[in-house]
Amino acid sequence: MSEDDKARFYARLKEFEGRQVGEPFVARDPVNTPMVRHWCDAMGDDNPVYTDPEAAASSAFGELVAPPSMLQAWTMRGLKPPPQTGTSAQAELWDVFAEEGFTSVVAVNCDQEYFRYLRPGDHLTHEIVIDGVSPEKETGLGTGHFINQLYTFRDQDGEKVGTMLFRLFKFRPRRKKD
């Protein structure tokens, strides 16, 4: 690909910035104590404000709260996600990448920000926006572009309770040397 072709391709990718990835997704279940307890067991987190109603009542929270790190867990689609309708900006973006041979993807990292503790009964929704696409980069995996997706999490009243910046790398895998 010539430098002019790369510049045109990158300009095409930048057109996706700011676009919402599909419809907002509503969590299948509200925040609930059994799932918090399972999470705490799995993570080895013994903080009593998450699982002991008496300890939580006498804490600064006055009631049970969920570990902040569970933020994304509440809106994960699960092993049998509901069918999606229509197309999404991400599907369109992936098609643009595929046209140029960028066929592989890997999750790179995520940063979460919490605005308040979640409580049992909170029912979350998240929306995702394509926050940025990097210029072409050469890495050990291959040549590609980093894509930042900004997740915004809201409660049942529309209050923003947290965000997550999720970074992916869409790339052409390196060819194996014979």
Q: Give the model confidence (pLDDT) of 98-157 as tens digits.
A: 999 999 999 999 999 999 999 999 999 999 999 999 999 999 999 999 999 999 999 999
The mean pLDDT of the chain is: 93
Residues ≥6 apart with Cβ < 8 Å to 125: 24, 25, 26, 27, 75, 153, 154
Determine, yes or no, domain membership for 15.
yes
- Residues counted in the chain: 178
pTM given for the model:
0.90
3-state secondary structure of 47: coil
Positive or negative, the CA dihedral 157, 129, 67, 40 is positive
Domain that holds residue 105: 3-30+78-173
Q: Residues 89, 127: one domain?
A: yes
The string of pLDDT tens digits covering residues 33-52 is 999 999 999 999 999 999 99
Q: Residues 103, 152: one domain?
A: yes
Q: Residues 89, 165: one domain?
A: yes
Q: Residues 118, 169: one domain?
A: yes
Determine, yes or no, domain membership for 18.
yes
Q: Residues 26, 37: one domain?
A: no
